[in-house]
Structure 1
Amino acid sequence: MTNLNELILSGNQLSGQIPSSIGNCIVLQKLLLDKNSFEGSIPESLGNIKGLNILNLTANKLSGRIPDAIGSIRDLQQLYLANNSFLGSLPAVLKNLSSLSKLDVSFNNLQGEVPDGGVFRNITAIAIAGNTNLCGGAPQLHLAPCSTSTSSKNKRKRTKSLVISLATTGAILLSLLVIFLVWILCKKLKQSQKTVVQYSVAEEHYERIPYHALLRGTNGFSEVNLLGRGSYGAVYKCILDNEERALAVKVFNTGQSRYSKSFEVECEAMRRIRHRSLIKIITCCSSFNNHGQEFKALLFEFMPNGNLDGWLHPKSQEPTTSNTLSLSQRLDIAIDIVDAVEYLHSYCQPLIIHCDLKPSNILLAEDMSARVGDFGISRILQENTSKVMQNSYSTIGIRGSIGYVAPEYGEGSAVSTQGDIYSLGIMLLELFTGRSPIDDMFGNSLDLHNFVEDALPDRTLEIADPTIWLHIETKDNVTSSRIQECLVSVLRLGISCSKTQPRERTSIRDVAVEMHAIRDAYLLFAG
């Protein structure tokens, strides 16, 4: 029962040992086994259940030491171990559990010094009565002082700690001085660099979210909160209880096995990556809905400006500066996408092939910076990666979307980084021409790649997205010449990436270097 959230077996006549396989219930939040006759020790495997909130083993016949593994259950809020036969000392790791607000270890055979941090500082939060050999701790606990040898040892520790503290303080002051000087230097350089926006939501810790929380946060998955649909399922805007900021919930269509595998693959990929230009996963939900059907969803940071496809191909809107992209914005978006792909192919460990790069999978933040998303059919390049992850889509056919998928995939070739480069090249051509590769004008021998290649360089301004000019205040000969020069460079880069033969495509590192150079040259002209 790996998707079980609560297991309540209190007040029965269960006996024997608590099975170690309980650690397989990794989404368990509440485990109540009190008032039974369980024997033996607490299984170490409980440490695998990171999201466990409440653990109650009171009034059993358990013995042995309280395992340090409990200290790795980072979300533990209440721990009840009273009326058993536990031996040894209280694990010091329990004081590191920042969420622990209730600890009851009464009437056991515990001994030694009570730790002095975390939950042990709050005497109303702990119950230790009936352990006559415990000592020390907070004065309000009224325990006997620990032995002289222990006190002397503690005194030596305090003396040593004082020396270390003084040395550490000096080092910290020196570090602060260095940091201050570096900060001043960075402030001077900041004017010539693009600010990297930090999203606090990406750094915060979120517990695994239950189904009913998502149901409330999306108002019953209403159409009002629907952000988009795809073959995988749908994406909704969600505001969780006690939260002000919005999140995006990607709900998978679990009616078909391919989409259940897509959930697994995306979870596997997203937990491995961390880059400012990749969409940040917050948490997940793997449960059952109100009808008893399997429910799987991922929560991401919310991108208020939608996806790139909506900006390149707006529906029924008069083009204005507020709903179209300037040349500078397009260059910045291209940089973000290229940097993300370079990270996936060159720096991520293990390397990841996205397999579905296209404008609808490029999301735009409030400041119009881009995030690459949707890793549902990605491929993780690692020899020891499970076969489920390596081959989850091996029977589906062509990996990718029509118009963006590399031609060699249609011939049965294995996925490769060069396939992503092809998709990236087509996307660059679309970004600066405003023409989709599946536009009605393309067919037979004409495609977006050939259309652009035939037009360069003489008809560059003719094939460029005309909405770019809405953002140009002065359209003189010098301005037009510089814009044409920039467009020629970036479109040629797109052509070099989208060549039919994989070996002829530009490497991602060269693409990144060239793309940054193109953007910097244009910014130098634009001021």
Structure 2
Amino acid sequence: MAIRPTRLALSLLCVVMTIGTASRGGGNSDEATLLAFKAGHSSSVLASWNSSASFCNWEGVTCGRRRPTRVVALDLRSSNLTGTLTPVVGNLTFLRWLNLSSNGLYGEIPPSLGRLRHLRSLDLGSNSLSVIPYSLFNLTSLKYVYLFRNRFSGFVPSTVGRLRFVERLGLYSNRLEADKSKGWEFITSLANCSQLQYLDIAYNSFSGKLPRSIVNLSTTLQELYVDHNSISGSMPEEIGNLIGLDMLDLGFTNLSGVIPTSIGKLANLVEIGLHYTSLSGLIPSSIGNLTNLNRLYAFYSNFEGPIPASLGELKKLFVLGLSNNHLNGSIPREIFELPSLSWFLDLSSNSLSGPIPSEVGTLVNINAVDLSGNQLSGQIPDSIGNCIVLESLYLEENSFEGGIPQSLSNLKGLTILNLTMNKFSGKIPDTIGSIQQLQKLSLAHNNFSGPIPASLQNLTTLWQLDVSFNNLQGEVPVKGVFRNLTFSSVVGNDNLCGGIPQLHLPPCPILDVRKNKNQHLKSLAIALPTTGAMLVLVSVIVLILLHHRKLKRRQNRQATSLVIEEQYQRVSYYVLSRGSNDFSEANLLGKGRYGSVYRCTLDNEDALVAVKVFDLQQLGSSKSFEAECEALRRVRHRSLIKIITCCSSIDPRGQEFKALVLEFMPNGSLDGWIHPKSSKCSPSNTLSFSQRLNIVIDIFEAMDYLHNHCQPSIIHCDMKPSNILLAEDMSAKVGDFGISKILPKSTTKTHLNSKSSIGIRGSIGYIAPEYGEGSAASKLGDIYSLGIMLLEMFTATSPTDDMFKDSLNLHDFAAAAFPDRALEIADETIWLHETNYTDVTDASMTRGIIQQSLVSVFGLGISCSKQQPRERMVLADAVSKIHAIRDEYFKSQMVEQRAIEH
């Protein structure tokens, strides 16, 4: 009996030794630390931190490769962590990455973090932390430090200078201070950070002068943000030493003095912010040396003198904001010749004079123009109608005169037009009612005469109209925007009448019909014969002009992009960007050879669209854009994807941007239904046999239209399931005409005998064999692709499957099973939909009907995908064949159903 206590003592001793080993850094020490961390912070994310899985598999935890039991990364961003940050984090001594951003942590950053000597990245941003310990800046391995959007106050520790290898330091949006007494000692200490690339101290309470020591980071510093502080004094002349800078933001500060000419040395600069400062003097012409500049913000400052013409050298500039300064002189023509200027041009609230140069029409990609509040004069150039993606145009408070140019009606996407407080005269053109997206129209305080155009009441988007203080006359319309018009919108026009009762305008006079009856009859007796003769003459002239125009189009084929712009209303880059949340991953529908397709909601539209964005860095993508535009503008068929509009513009990086806006297909591509991503197949993510037959008919009819009923004929060249899109009712539409070919009229109906000089067209597995031998694109090549796709649809076997090696392909695979083993190679998910039989006999009958139809389908697919082009079935015959297969299938189904019922 005495041995039992001894055994118990030994057991307890083993447990103690095990615990001791763990506490001295054994394999479970990090696990214990993590459990202690969990105990200090309540969060549903930490629920997975339990013994059911290894701690290295816990959410947010990453262990090392060389030391698989040591935690090297802890990422718990946006995990609803609350409370003070527990000091136990400092026990994860092998930690390299720590991200606890966007949580509810508060209080002090524990000094124990200073023990994480391997730490490279520390992100505690967007919390409510309030104290930075000195020990934090002893971590010499740190490269990335983000402490933004907390509640830190006081001064930044001078020990920050010990972060010799730091690359990114973000301290913005806190309550950090710096004043003359401290002398910006922490910035001075940053000069020792020889690797510093990113410094963000914006949205703090720094004051005093910007220390010159910052220019010592001449080659490494790439991004510098000191905006939204109270710093004063002048910009250091040595700012030009920071030759590595690509981002410089000094906005919302008290900086004064002039911009040093040395700024022209910052050749890598992409964005510069000098807005809301006290900077003054001339804008130096050296700024024209910043040839990589995309964005120049210098509004609400005290700049004076002329706008330097050297800005015309900034060929990548897409944003120019110089409003609310004291600039004078004329607007340089060179600015309007910047090909990339696309976001906005804002020169408002200055003292600029002279006319708008006619070169304004060069800004074909500009989204917004604001020239209001200046002393500009003359007439609005008619060339402004070339700015076809313009959305906002502000020209108020100038001295413009003359009439509104008719070309403004070209701006179909214009939403805001403000021409108030000028000297415009004449009638308001009726064509202004054709600006389809117009939302705000202000024409007040001018000298317009004549009636208010009735066409304005047809603009369903127009909700704000101001025509006050003009010389307008006649009846005020009562529909559209005029239903909610207020008196202040029409005041100052003494000869207006009618309108809605709320305007309190006098009623319009009623003509005395009896008094003028005889006079009207006499006038009609003279006018009708004259009018009839004029109409005949005009009709003849119109017919001649139309015939001449048709001949001219045949002889001189315009560029594809221009044709598309004539046929469809172009949209701007920013409309598509807003509608797709900046082309976010969440809206990505798919990727192809030449670009990506995104879900998008156009402004003022309820329906979704699909935006195909072309990757212009990919060789051939521009030609693909042109080919698809050219093909889609020619075709009209229910089973072909429809183009809504297009975009050819400049993106925020100054790069060329091309996109097509297509109708949205809510059920995605056929490929996703044949090969569902989910490992669990069900009737909800697969296709029934009848659905497949209907889809095949849609595809074959679309291709028959392209080949045989479209003038000139079009060869698709890339038929495959991923290019077949499914509508809400599961009807199919053929898309992606990026490598399609339009046949010349002299071409034979089925084949091009010449060799191809453009390389192989199509996708691997679906390409006709003769293409590999150099044969040109042909209708028979499309038929081969259709046959392969047909076999894939009913076997769920991809032609690029690993099983196809050497000389074996999908055609041979199906031919070997044809006809007796058709059920063996059929897609098994077809049977998921056939569950309406009542006994074994019924099931056997249904299976027999499907087998009979499968044999016919496989026979058609094999006939279309034969090796030799001339042995393939003609498409018109294939269309008839697939219709017959479907009709026979449904007929047999009806017979079976009647047999079951009886």
| Pairwise TM-score range, normalised by the shorter structure | 0.7 to 0.9
- CA separation in 2, counterparts of 1:144 and 1:364? 57
* Greater alpha carbon shift after TM alignment, 407-416 vs 227-236: 407-416
In 1, are the aligned partners of 2:849 and 2:893 still within 8 Å (CA)?
no
Match runs of 1:492-511 below 5 Å:
492-500=859-867, 502=869, 504-511=871-878
- CA separation in 2, counterparts of 1:449 and 1:310? 22
In 2, are the aligned partners of 1:136 and 1:146 still within 8 Å (CA)?
no
Q: 2:880 aligns with which of 507, 510, 513?
A: 513
Match of 1:391 in 2: none
| Corresponding residue SS for 2:375 | coil
Q: CA deviation at 1:431?
A: 1.2
In 2, are the aligned partners of 1:54 and 1:78 still within 8 Å (CA)?
yes
In 2, are the aligned partners of 1:102 and 1:125 still within 8 Å (CA)?
no
Q: Deviations over 1:140-167 (max 9, x none)?
A: 342463363589899xxxxxxxxxxxxx
Q: Deviations over 1:427-477 (max 9, x none)?
A: 112112222223334355443334434543233333333443454455866
How many pairs were matched up? 467
Q: Deviations over 1:28-52 (max 9, x none)?
A: 1111222333343322222221111
In 1, are the aligned partners of 2:364 and 2:387 still within 8 Å (CA)?
yes
Structure with greater contact order relative to length (CA < 8 Å, sep ≥ 6)? 1
Q: 1:46 aligns with which of 403, 408, 432?
A: 408
Match of 1:424 in 2: 786
Identity of aligned residues (%): 65
- CA separation in 1, counterparts of 2:459 and 2:578? 29
* Greater alpha carbon shift after TM alignment, 81-90 vs 14-23: 81-90
In 2, are the aligned partners of 1:232 and 1:252 still within 8 Å (CA)?
yes
In 2, are the aligned partners of 1:26 and 1:51 still within 8 Å (CA)?
yes
In 2, are the aligned partners of 1:233 and 1:250 still within 8 Å (CA)?
yes
| Corresponding residue SS for 1:148 | coil
Q: CA deviation at 1:10?
A: 1.3
Q: Deviations over 1:269-323 (max 9, x none)?
A: 4456555434455555555444343444445555454422233334572555554
Partner amino acid for 1:142?
Answer: L
- CA separation in 1, counterparts of 2:497 and 2:627? 51
Q: Deviations over 1:92-126 (max 9, x none)?
A: 22222222223333344444443343333433288
Give the 3 Å change call, closer, same or farther, for CA 251–486 of structure 1 in structure 2. Answer: same
Match of 1:525 in 2: 892
Q: 2:671 aligns with which of 279, 287, 309?
A: 309
| Corresponding residue SS for 2:620 | helix
Partner amino acid for 1:9?
Answer: L
Partner amino acid for 2:719?
Answer: L
| Corresponding residue SS for 1:439 | coil
Q: 2:373 aligns with which of 8, 11, 23?
A: 11
Match of 1:91 in 2: 453
Match of 2:695 in 1: 333
| Corresponding residue SS for 1:399 | coil
In 1, are the aligned partners of 2:413 and 2:571 still within 8 Å (CA)?
no
1:491 aligns with 2:853: no
- CA separation in 2, counterparts of 1:365 and 1:316? 21
Match of 1:405 in 2: 767
1:81 aligns with 2:81: no
| Structure-1-length-normalised TM-score | 0.74
Partner amino acid for 1:114?
Answer: V
1:142 aligns with 2:505: yes
Q: Deviations over 1:154-191 (max 9, x none)?
A: 9xxxxxxxxxxxxxxxxxxxxxxxxxxxxxxxxxxxxx
Match runs of 1:193-204 below 5 Å:
none
Match runs of 1:222-237 below 5 Å:
222-237=584-599
1:342 aligns with 2:709: no
Give the 3 Å change call, closer, same or farther, for CA 9–414 of structure 1 in structure 2. Answer: farther
1:63 aligns with 2:425: yes
Q: Deviations over 1:16-65 (max 9, x none)?
A: 33222222211111112223333433222222211111112223333343
Partner amino acid for 1:309?
Answer: D
Q: CA deviation at 1:6?
A: 0.7
Match of 1:369 in 2: 731
Q: Deviations over 1:325-351 (max 9, x none)?
A: 332222122122223333444556775
| Corresponding residue SS for 1:251 | strand
1:104 aligns with 2:471: no
Give the 3 Å change call, closer, same or farther, for CA 450–31 of structure 1 in structure 2. Answer: same
Give the 3 Å change call, closer, same or farther, for CA 524–86 of structure 1 in structure 2. Answer: same
Greater share of helix residues, 1 or 2?
1
Q: Deviations over 1:67-98 (max 9, x none)?
A: 23212111112222233343443322222222
Give the 3 Å change call, closer, same or farther, for CA 69–487 of structure 1 in structure 2. Answer: same
Give the 3 Å change call, closer, same or farther, for CA 417–13 of structure 1 in structure 2. Answer: farther
Give the 3 Å change call, closer, same or farther, for CA 505–127 of structure 1 in structure 2. Answer: farther
Give the 3 Å change call, closer, same or farther, for CA 221–58 of structure 1 in structure 2. Answer: closer
* Greater alpha carbon shift after TM alignment, 45-54 vs 240-249: 240-249
In 2, are the aligned partners of 1:71 and 1:93 still within 8 Å (CA)?
yes
In 1, are the aligned partners of 2:487 and 2:504 still within 8 Å (CA)?
no
- CA separation in 1, counterparts of 2:727 and 2:780? 28
Q: CA deviation at 1:413?
A: 4.8
1:118 aligns with 2:485: no
- CA separation in 2, counterparts of 1:457 and 1:80? 74
Pairwise CA RMSD: 3.9
Match runs of 1:189-268 below 5 Å:
221-237=583-599, 248-256=610-618, 258-267=620-629
In 2, are the aligned partners of 1:101 and 1:125 still within 8 Å (CA)?
no
Q: Deviations over 1:382-403 (max 9, x none)?
A: 88xxxxxxxxxx9853222122
In 1, are the aligned partners of 2:496 and 2:505 still within 8 Å (CA)?
no
Partner amino acid for 1:148?
Answer: L
Match of 1:465 in 2: 827
Partner amino acid for 2:889?
Answer: Y
- CA separation in 2, counterparts of 1:72 and 1:503? 54
Q: Runs of 5+ in structure 1 lacking a partner?
A: 155-205, 384-393
| Corresponding residue SS for 1:14 | strand
Q: 1:21 aligns with which of 355, 376, 383?
A: 383
- CA separation in 2, counterparts of 1:333 and 1:25? 43
Q: CA deviation at 1:232?
A: 2.0
Match of 2:270 in 1: none
Partner amino acid for 1:490?
Answer: V
Partner amino acid for 2:864?
Answer: C
